Chains A and B, each alone.
Chain A
Amino acid sequence: MKIVRNCTRNIWSWIRQVSGDAAYENYLRSTRRIAQAEMARVDPRIMQAACCSTRAGSAAPLTREEFYLHALRRRYSTISRCC
């Protein structure tokens, strides 16, 4: 039963990732990672304190709607579909 549950969860997560449904969560994770890395460069001791904050760093992350529009503009200004 546990195997089936894990398997279903993995497939669902893969579909969300491939379809772009999880893009905003990825972005938030990425923003957090960048902020932590920047802080660690300035003072490694701050890194521990900032580990769970999404607003760590100089700028607040984009809202879901802002991120969606921003991602679309970037995606469709370059060749993203083939023949």
Chain B
Amino acid sequence: MKSILKMILWSAIALAGASALAAIAFERREPLSAVWFVVAAVCTYLVAYRFYSKFIAAKVLALDDTRATPSERLEDGHDFVPTSKWVLIGHHFAAIAGPGPLVGPTLAAQFGYLPGTLWLIVGAALGGCVQDFIILFCSIRRDGKSLGQMAREEVSKRGGMIALLAVLAIMIILLAVVALVIVKALKESPWGTFTLAMTIPIALLMGIYLRYVRPGRVLEASLGGVALVMLAVVSGQWVNASPAWSSAFTLTGPALAIAIIVYGYAASALPVWLLLAPRDYLSAFIKVGAIAALAVGVIFVRPTLEMPALTRFVDGNGPVFAGKIFPFCFITIACGAISGFHALISSGTTPKMILRESHARMIGYGAMLMESFVGVMAMIAACALQPGVYFAINSPAGIVGKTTDAAAATIRSWGFTLDPQTMSVLAQRVGEHTLLDRTGGAPSLAVGMAQIFSGTIGGERLLSIWYHFAIMFEALFILTVLDAGTRVGRFMVQELSGHIWKPLGKSGSTAGILATSALMVGAWGYFLWQGVQDPLGGINSLWPLFGIANQLLACVALVVATTILLKMGRARWIWVTLAPMVWLVAITMTASFQKIFSANLRIGFLSQANALAAQISSGAIPADKIVVTQRLIFNNRLDAAVTAVLAVMILVLLVEALGEWIAILSGRKAALLHESPYIATRWAEGGD
């Protein structure tokens, strides 16, 4: 009886999900309610978790709860700490949730809501969650080893080196692109800049409190910090209204870029307790709170999606970024569906804290489903805007023009309605001077979120406060990624440079810290500066580069996972990791090829460099612009070289792995697994 009821329940969930997906895919008569998206996503997640992840846990990985996990065998009270799965999923989700699933879907909305939404849901269930779950399992079986160590042991030494270089490359490009998103969101915005600037003294205050007044009392310090940040958001309106204060906090793009570079350097070199850690606590609280509020807001307000299912920009000539749906929709969404970076978290702290092998299913697979849902909500918030408004905010001035009239005329010529006054009135309502040329996704997402929040609390009166709350939330946790990433990057550079000159490798040496911090900040700072100077907005070239690097890292993770499955004697089930890997290789290679060689000037780095060089030769560039143009040519060639290096790295790794797979399958080589030996658990069955 019970099993019949279960069958009926799961059939109903599957039917509801399929109906909602069908409505999203085929309904064209009137704008869709966001409820369809929530139902489609939640039902698909439930079915995927209940059936697919269970199949992977039981058949593919054969999780074994009688086996002691590293947290039991190596417990030390510091890294290896047995932790309840309900607590660990909170830690793991807070670690994997970054700006990617918010910004990526917002940018991909230029194709319409359909391609991005489908990829967010399907890509996560069949790709991203599988990667996170299996890498977590592999790391648990290897005492919490990192992805690089597993690649070196299970694939080849070269595979390990490629993983290390890929991590460093993705880190540099990631930090540059997220910094660019902040610059685009805060330029000429005194309210937003003031709020974000205030988070620095607030974090310092929290740092001193946590270090000297009440050591380690994270909760009380964070609650106080959150209250002060809210006060800063509200006070921003008075700063905005005061001519003197407003001009002090009105910064241009280049000025903001310099400020962020200086901040990144300071945060990386200062003691971690003073700025980095308290900012991280602050950001984690606001991040989780804002995401939960967005989920509640979407369900309460049930906004209607104004964006069509597919826009004319599926042809590859979109103003937000250039390129067709295949491969650029997938490269752009990246983290919301599958993120290589997650493999670093799944092979970082989480495997050292997991209590039982079976918990890997909920933590690895389940947390990624939650991340995908964040991406779906970002898609809803972006598509709830009038398409004309969305494109006016996200298109660079180089494409739509610098004035509201010019932008409205261009956007109308694309077939979307936009009154010139609409943008001025909207900017006024959210407390900004202008919303034009705010590329990067953050401002349009903030407008969408503010409309949803104000539909729940405060109405029109609080729209400007909600907008700046959303901007602060995005900028705050982007800055956290920036300073934590710079610090870790510094350690990696220090490790690598120690091979060249030993004193640089010493983690405690002040000269080493200052030099390697400068190297790391200089690397991402260069790409940031390049993005700020780019006449096409920078996002057009940097975000795809970030997407390629991220998906490349996911390829590395899936190659490692496939190799381990083969060695475990699960050749029958390797399609579980092989299928997403083949798909990722296809999109990464196609995107890399197009970004390097496409004849379309907005896609191909080389063709843009050649076109600019031809303009200089023909005398079409005025004398005073020649130096700037030469720098643009160099930057385009540099981007092409970086893309080529990333593509070659994945090809080398694939060749290495293929050789290993063929040798194992043909019996020429023994399948030597590097798992820790089996030790039975001493803990009672089923405990949390």
Q: Which residues on A are within 8 Å of B, measured CB to CB? A: 14-21, 23-24, 26-27, 30-31, 33-34, 61, 64-65, 67-83
Contact = CB atoms under 8 A, between A and B. Distances in A.
B487 A76 contact: yes
B218 A83 contact: no
Interface in B209-224: 210-211, 215-219, 222
A49 to B, nearest CB: 20
Contacts of B335: 82-83
A82 B345 contact: yes
B348 A78 contact: yes
A76 B480 CA distance: 12
A59 to B, nearest CB: 11
B201 to A, nearest CB: 20
B94 interface: yes
A74 B237 CA distance: 40
B281 interface: yes
A83 B78 CA distance: 25
Q: Which of A16, A18, A65, A77 has the most B CB atoms < 10 Å from its CB? A: A18
Nearest to B78: A74
Contact of A76 (B178, B345, B348, B488): B488
11 contacts: A14-B86, A19-B285, A21-B218, A21-B219, A27-B81, A30-B76, A61-B77, A76-B276, A76-B487, A82-B345, A83-B178
Given A69-B273, A81-B480, A83-B98, A34 B91 contact: no
A81 B211 contact: no
B142 interface: no
A26 B273 contact: no
B216 A24 contact: yes
A14 B87 CA distance: 7
A55 to B, nearest CB: 14
Interface of A is mostly: helix
B481 interface: yes
Contacts of A74: 78-79
B131 to A, nearest CB: 13
A76 B267 CA distance: 12
Contacts of A27: 77-78, 81
Contacts of A80: 95, 345, 348-349, 484, 488
Given A76-B277, A77-B487, A82-B344, 19 more contacts: A15-B219, A21-B216, A26-B81, A27-B77, A30-B75, A30-B82, A31-B77, A34-B75, A65-B215, A72-B272, A75-B277, A78-B348, A78-B488, A79-B344, A79-B488, A81-B98, A81-B280, A81-B481, A82-B100
Given A20-B218, A23-B216, A81-B280, A65 B90 contact: no
A67 B348 contact: no
Contacts of A24: 216
Contacts, number: 124
Contacts of B281: 19-20
A21 B222 CA distance: 10
B341 A83 contact: yes
A68 B215 contact: yes
A27 to B, nearest CB: 5
A27 B78 CA distance: 7
A18 B94 contact: yes
A48 to B, nearest CB: 17
Contact of A70 (B78, B211, B285): B78
Interface of B: 75-79, 81-84, 86-87, 90-91, 94-100, 167, 174, 178, 210-211, 215-219, 222, 272-273, 276-277, 280-281, 284-285, 335, 339, 341-342, 344-345, 348-349, 480-481, 484-485, 487-488, 491, 507, 546, 550
B339 A82 contact: yes
A30 B285 CA distance: 26
Contacts of A78: 348-349, 488, 491
A76 B84 contact: no
A9 B339 CA distance: 36
Contact of A68 (B216, B280, B550): B216
B511 to A, nearest CB: 19
A81 B489 CA distance: 12
A7 to B, nearest CB: 14
B339 A77 contact: no
Q: Which of B91, B167, B178, B342 has the most A CB atoms < 10 Å from its CB? A: B91
Contacts of A64: 215-216
Nearest to A69: B273
A18 B91 contact: yes
Given A67-B216, A77-B491, A18 B95 contact: no
Q: Which of A26, A33, A76, A77 has the most B CB atoms < 10 Å from its CB? A: A76
Nearest to A13: B87
Contacts of B95: 80-82
Q: Which of B84, B99, B219, B348 has the most A CB atoms < 10 Å from its CB? A: B219
A21 B217 contact: yes
B87 A18 contact: yes
A83 B507 CA distance: 25
Contacts of B348: 78-80
Contacts of A34: 75-77
A18 B335 CA distance: 23
Contacts of B100: 82-83
Nearest to A30: B77
B222 A82 contact: no
Given A23-B216, A79-B348, A33 B75 contact: yes
A75 B349 CA distance: 9
Contact of B211 (A16, A17, A23, A65): A65
Contacts of B273: 68-69, 72
Contacts of B507: 77
Contacts of A14: 86-87, 90
Closest 4 CB pairs of A and B: A18-B90, A30-B77, A68-B216, A65-B215
A13 to B, nearest CB: 9
Contacts of A15: 219
A24 B218 CA distance: 11
